[in-house]
């Protein structure tokens, strides 16, 4: 039986591969010295590997190759959360994702010097896949001043950061 790695290799050879040059992104001088060289990554290439792992695991459970349907199921179940986690890595400046807005790279370390505790709480909520409305409701429930929350959410501009996946049923 093929492993998910050999399946990924097979599909990469069969399809036209996405060329990813080995380029290092040099960050703004405000960043910490250890953060100045960051690997460029592709959300689509990385997600393909994740989807193939999922396909392999699900196919092993089923005892047969589930094919493209398993990849579609991964997209339906995991794409939004996967993309959100990559977007947050990009905002934190830990990894540069080429499909995401380059101006957003390291935004958290460059922009928000005030309200750092509030920012941490908002990022925690974003990591748990909460949307803007949930965050606003949380701020109101906890009597947190809405102006800095609103300012942070406007700067993040969450709803404009969605990428489509070729198997995403919401974008087809």
Residue 169 to residue 172: CA distance in whole angstroms:
5
Cross-strand bridge partners of residue 38: 25
Residue-wise pLDDT tens digits, 77-131? 999 899 999 999 999 999 999 999 999 999 988 888 889 999 999 999 999 999 9
Q: Does an H or E element contain 39, and which?
A: strand 37-41
Cross-strand bridge partners of residue 37: 26
Residue 124 to residue 128: CA distance in whole angstroms:
6
First to last CA, the chain: 33
Whether pTM exceeds 0.85: no
Residue-wise pLDDT tens digits, 17-41? 333 333 344 444 444 545 457 889 9
Q: Mean pLDDT across the stretch 147-153?
A: 95
Close Cβ partners of 5 (under 8 Å, ≥ 6 residues apart): none
């Amino acid at each position: 039986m093929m492993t998910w790695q050999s399946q990924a290799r097979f599909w990469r050879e069969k399809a036209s591969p996405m060329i990813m040059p080995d380029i290092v992104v040099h960050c703004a001088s405000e960043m910490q010295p250890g953060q100045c060289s960051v690997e460029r990554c592709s959300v689509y290439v990385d997600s393909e590997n994740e989807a193939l792992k999922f396909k392999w695991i699900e196919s092993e459970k089923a005892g047969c190759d589930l094919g493209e349907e398993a990849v579609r199921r991964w997209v339906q179940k995991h794409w939004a959360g996967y993309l959100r986690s990559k977007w947050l890595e990009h905002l934190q400046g830990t990894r540069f994702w080429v499909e995401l807005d380059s101006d957003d790279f390291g935004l958290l370390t460059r922009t928000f010097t005030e309200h750092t505790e509030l920012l941490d709480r908002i990022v925690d909520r974003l990591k748990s896949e909460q949307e803007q409305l949930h965050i606003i409701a949380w701020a109101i429930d906890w009597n947190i001043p809405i102006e800095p929350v609103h300012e942070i959410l406007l700067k993040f501009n969450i709803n404009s950061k969605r990428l489509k996946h070729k198997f995403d049923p919401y974008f087809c």
